[in-house]
Structures are given as C-alpha cells and as structure tokens.
A and B are shown apart, each in its own frame.
Chain A
C-alpha cells in the first residue's frame, strides 16, 4: 500500500490489519502521554480545498500522536486563487520537504492526480462525493469494537447515498469485512445503478428497522433545504429520520452511527443522538486511531513493494 485513496480495492486482510493497528493506537491514546515517537522527523501536510475542521483536526492529532510534524495548507491563504494549477501547488508543497499529503477536495479524483504527480504517499481525506476511506476505517473500527466482527451484521445506510463519499467508502469496506449493507432513501438520493453495488436497496426505513444491527445515518444537506431532491426537511425527517419511535423498534443491541456533523431533529432526533447506543463520539475518538494506523502504515517502515 503506497497511498490510501479508496476502499474499493482494499482486500480483507489489508483492512483487518489496518483495524488491528488502529486498535493498538487506540490504546496509545489512553496512555498518560498519548503519544509515541514513531514518525519523529516526518512531516505530514494537510491540503484541504474544502472546509472541514473536524477531519483536518483528526488527521493533525493523529500525526502529532505519532510525533510527526504537521503543516497545513488551505486555499483561502494560498496562491490557488491566483490561478495556480493543483499540480503546481502540489509540487510546491512537496518541495518544502513534506513526507505525506492528506488531501481533501471538492472534486472527485484530486487525490489520484496528486498520487500521479508526486512521489510521496497520498491519503484521500475526502474527494467530492467519491471516497473518504479513513471515515470507513473508523466506522468499521467502531462497529468491530461493539460487535467483535462485521461478519454477518446487517447495516442500513440511510439518506443521501448518491452524493455521499462516506457511503461509497463504507459500502466497500463494510461488505469486504463480511457485513450485509442495505441502502435506504428516496430514489433521488440513491445511486442510479444500485444493482452494480454489493448492496440491497429499500425506500422504506420502517421495513428494515427491526432487522438491522447498525443504522448509519448520513447527513442531510440542509443548506440546500433538500428542495430539489426531496419535498421538505420535515417530510424527510418523518420518512427517513431516526425518531424515538423507530429507535424503540431496533433490536436491543443495535446501534446508531453518524459521520457528523449531525442535524438533530432532521436525520436524528435530539434524544437518540445522546443515547448510549448512538456511537457518534466513539466514531470521533476512533477517527484519530484509524488515521494513526494509516499514517504509520504509509510512513513507518519500508513501503510495500
């Protein structure tokens, strides 16, 4: 593994190794000094062309917990607005002596282009609606900690799958690890060709709620008001939201997850979000451990051939 760009082609053993390592790093994070010197002298750059405080912080925390230095680049303070190409920006950052770049971009494929242009590992921190592989790792880690394994679990991913990089990454990682994934949402929010994905599809959350082990709620893009893809936020909340009533119908051991930031009252009700079976904060904690595993895998020790 020379880069982490997508979960689509990660095999089961690689995924499991990464999760095993993430477990180890999760323990490091509980130590009195939650830090190891493994990547001392390395520099990790975060290039975020799309605002995201939490993902950037998580990567920076992960790098620092491995004793790497971090530098961050964001277009607001850069030459991008002056017409510099992504390639020139990337070559400039590389020339400063950076050892790995975490990139987030509004455009699909930006991390692939960086991987093509540069000779250092690239981590996809989210590209367009395409992939967000470290989110999938932390999600799978969180589920594995709860259930021991993903094998045979039924996971419903609910909401705007069509425009979600989280869903695209989770679908591949979860099914590779043995889970069964059901996509739930109105047709305007589902992929055009669900038959091409290793999933089943439902337009009715109530019909699957009692049989699933995990309900993974995606964020509704409230800033768009949903206007062009569903009638209203209220109608969305009624049909696809995790209401207390639906929550009460879940299997007793079933859990609720969300990649954040949440819209309480839309995809998840106020009370459910704070329940012990809503693993949202565990996901955030595991995000640092999962990203440590990725950074260490790419920068610690010789690269795989």
Chain B
C-alpha cells in the first residue's frame, strides 16, 4: 500500500504532460500511471497541475539576527503554503553569511523545521562590504554554490572582477543585486512622471542598466556564471538577451511584483510598494512579462523580504524596502503571465534548481525520484487574507489572484494541504 496517492492531475514528467496518478511511498515517487492501487491518503488533483515543488532562488529568511521579521521556521512554512520545496536563502543576515559555519547553521535550522530544503547563498565579500573576498573556498565546501552581496551591489569593478575569477574557478555562480549606488542613493522610487509629481527623489533605470552592463562585460572577461537578480527594466532584459546571444553563461530572474505592478501604485503612498529595484513603468512591466515568456528571463524569484509592521507603518521614504512573496508568487505569475504548464514549472522550479545546483528539487516527476511535489490549481481564484510569515508587508493581501496551491510535499510528506 502506498502512503499517498495524487489522483487525476495533469502530471509533468520527463516524457511530457499527461493526466494520471502519482503514488508516493517512503518519501519517493513509487509509481506514475493509472490503477496504482490502495493508498493511505488520496488527494484529488482533478483540474490541477502536478509537478516538481517550486524552487525560490531569492528568499530572505532573516535568521540569524532579524527574527522579529522572520525566522527560518516561519519563512519555510510560508514557502510550503506557496508550493515551494526548496529555497536559496539570501546571506544578508546579521551576521551575514560570509563563513562556512553560518551557512551550515541556516541549512540545519531548516532541516529541523521540515518545511522546505534550504541552502544559503554565501556573501561575495566579507560583511558584504564590497572590499575583501568572503571565505569563498570554505563556503563552497559547506555547500554554497551561489555568491552574492544581495541588498548591496559590489560597486568596485576591480573587487568584483577578482571575486568573479575566483568563483569561476570553483564553478559557482555570481549573483548580483545590480544597482549603481551613486545613481540610486538618494532615491526612493522609479524616476519618472510619478516621482516628479510626488516630489520624491527617483532612481533612474540607468542605475540598474549600467551595473548589469558592466557586470556582463566582467562576466565575459572572467567566464564566470553570472546571474542578474530582480530585473526591473526593459533595457535590462535586452542586455541579458544580448549576453545570451553572445553565448555567455548569463541568467536572470524577475520578481512577481515587478511583473504585476508599476510605479503608479506609489501614488497610494503605501510603503508596501517600496522595493529595490523600484516598480517601474508599464512598458518595463510588459518587457519583463515578454522576457519571462520567451525564456530570456530564466527564473521567477520571490525576493521574499519580510519587514515588521513597525518598519512599514511609516512614510514611504522611511520604510524598509521589500515585500513578502513566497505564498503568492506562483499565483501572481500564473495570473499575470499566463504560462502553460511546461513553461510555468520551468521558470518557477526547474530553471532555478538548475542554476542553484539543487539535484533533488526542480526535476520533472520520475519513479524513484524524491517526493518533492506541488499540486497547483491554475484556475482557482482566491484572495489572500492572512500569512504564515511573521510579517505581513504584502501588497497582495486583499487582492484577488488566480491559481492556488492545493498541496505541497517535501520528501513525500505533506507540508501544506488546502
């Protein structure tokens, strides 16, 4: 007898997509097909997509050091509710993850919580200060494959070049929060008609584009695998496209909020629309959606960035930047971009797992493979009203979304069921 039967869903396997059943036993996929026999528990999957659990390569879990915003247990619980089985934790914690023992701490805490598999990204430079290389070898040995100073950009081209050379030799990925400090420092939102009307200092698109452009040239020089975080501009998409056409190992991600919103939302003055990079113009949003559809943008990443209410109950300009995303990212992408099942799972599970080097996640279902699975109903409309995160800084609360997670399995065990 199987432990669990996922019955009648549209199942993504290496062979393609078909409506069938999936049996789970001993934490693994026992069988795929019809008439699989008895199971301890059956989940009806009619009308839903069954595929590999979602993989987020840009999550801020805030632990260690900022547990009033989020901790690993609460962040991974939110991830499970959003269909995620694996996360790449960003290293801008306190202390930042610039040494091996800190990276191990994050994975160990996640292992105890049993909501999702978590690997930490490592800092590129010590204390994310952009000056000296972090303990890259030691981090690599602790399982770190992606290196980033996220939250900050490595501004010094010479420091970045050296770090890229080193990471290239290890076989890792340099992932960059690509924003020019001087052009963005005084700004709070996209520089454009809305910032002008509000008298708010803006951040021009060029703050992103100049850095992406520079980084791509340094990636060309150093042959490192380079990943652009949270694209926000149409020009950024074009730069990534050109780099790929040149054959460079460049990948890119986009967040749900940059797909769904533009700078017009800032007129509400609601601090939940303060992000870095900022929400830009409708033409940028359209280019990001098109880029994701065409695969120029490889990945949807949440940039799940919890902040406590006290950090958002302030004027826009004084608020912390960022919003939570794990619980609604799949719904937003599904509703806004409208990908088919294959491309949907590619962008939100398979591609991020490939870039992050997660072998037991983000694989089309196969007999004998680890039972890291999501059941996602692409047609269900719902309105989020609560969150499992410790923070509720989300512009999606109270908005109707299309597509909802029905169940999430981590190593064959339900971490979330509707």
Name A's B-contacting residues (CB within 8 A). Answer: 83-88, 105-110, 112-113, 117, 127-131, 162-165, 168, 191-193, 196
Contacts and interface: CB of A to CB of B under 8 A. Distances in A.
B199 A86 contact: no
B196 A193 contact: yes
Nearest to A163: B199
Residue of A84, A88, A109, A112 with highest tally of chain B CB at under 10 A: A109
A86 B315 contact: yes
11 contacts: A85-B311, A105-B315, A108-B188, A129-B199, A129-B201, A131-B199, A165-B199, A191-B196, A192-B193, A192-B202, A193-B193
B399 interface: no
Contacts, number: 74
B113 interface: no
A86 B309 CA distance: 11
**Interface bin, chain B:** 20 to 34
Interface string B169-201: 000000000000000000010011101111111
Contacts of B311: 85
B49 interface: no
Contact of A108 (B193, B199, B309, B314): B199
Contacts of A113: 269, 313-316
Interface in B321-341: none
B197 A196 contact: yes
Nearest to A131: B199
Nearest to B201: A129
A265 B157 CA distance: 45
A108 B316 contact: yes
Given A83-B310, A85-B309, A192-B191, A110 B315 contact: yes
A6 to B, nearest CB: 10
Nearest to A195: B193
Contacts of B200: 108, 128-130
A10 B314 CA distance: 26
A8 to B, nearest CB: 8
Given A193-B192, A193-B193, A87 B199 contact: no
Given A129-B199, A163-B199, A109 B315 contact: yes
B383 interface: no
A110 B314 CA distance: 7
Contacts of B317: 106-109, 128
B42 interface: no
A135 to B, nearest CB: 13
List the 7 closest pairs (A to B, CB-CB), nearest first.
A129-B199, A109-B269, A107-B315, A87-B313, A130-B199, A107-B317, A85-B313
Contacts of B202: 192
Contacts of B26: none
A164 B196 CA distance: 11
A85 B308 CA distance: 11
Chain A residues touching B, majority SS: loop
A193 B202 CA distance: 13
A109 B198 contact: yes
B314 A130 contact: no
B191 A108 contact: no
B180 to A, nearest CB: 16
Nearest to A128: B199
A23 B254 CA distance: 56
B158 interface: no
B316 A109 contact: yes
A85 B315 contact: no
Contact of B196 (A112, A117, A192): A192
Contacts of A128: 198-200, 317
B318 A107 contact: yes
Residue of B196, B199, B309, B313 with highest tally of chain A CB at under 10 A: B199
Contacts of A87: 313-314
Contacts of B193: 192-193, 196
Residue of B200, B309, B311 with highest tally of chain A CB at under 10 A: B200
Contacts of A163: 199
Interface string B198-216: 1111100000000000000
Contacts of A127: 315
Interface string B285-312: 0000000000000000000000001110
Contacts of B310: 83-85, 88
Contacts of A112: 269
B382 to A, nearest CB: 26
Given A108-B269, A109-B269, A192-B191, A86 B197 contact: no
B191 to A, nearest CB: 7
A86 B196 contact: no
Given A107-B318, A109-B269, A112-B269, A196 B196 contact: yes
Residue of A83, A117, A130 with highest tally of chain B CB at under 10 A: A130
A130 B196 contact: no
Nearest to B189: A108
B118 to A, nearest CB: 30
Contacts of B313: 85-88, 113, 117
Contacts of B201: 129
A195 to B, nearest CB: 9
A105 B201 CA distance: 15
Contacts of A192: 191-193, 195-196, 202
B13 to A, nearest CB: 50
A83 B314 CA distance: 11
Residue of B195, B201, B269 with highest tally of chain A CB at under 10 A: B269
A206 to B, nearest CB: 26
B302 to A, nearest CB: 25
A5 to B, nearest CB: 10
Interface string B137-157: 000000000000000000000
Given A87-B314, A113-B314, A128-B199, 16 more contacts: A83-B310, A86-B318, A87-B313, A107-B315, A107-B318, A108-B269, A109-B198, A109-B269, A113-B313, A127-B315, A131-B199, A162-B196, A163-B199, A165-B199, A168-B197, A192-B193
Given A130-B200, A163-B199, A168-B199, A107 B192 contact: no
Contacts of B188: 108
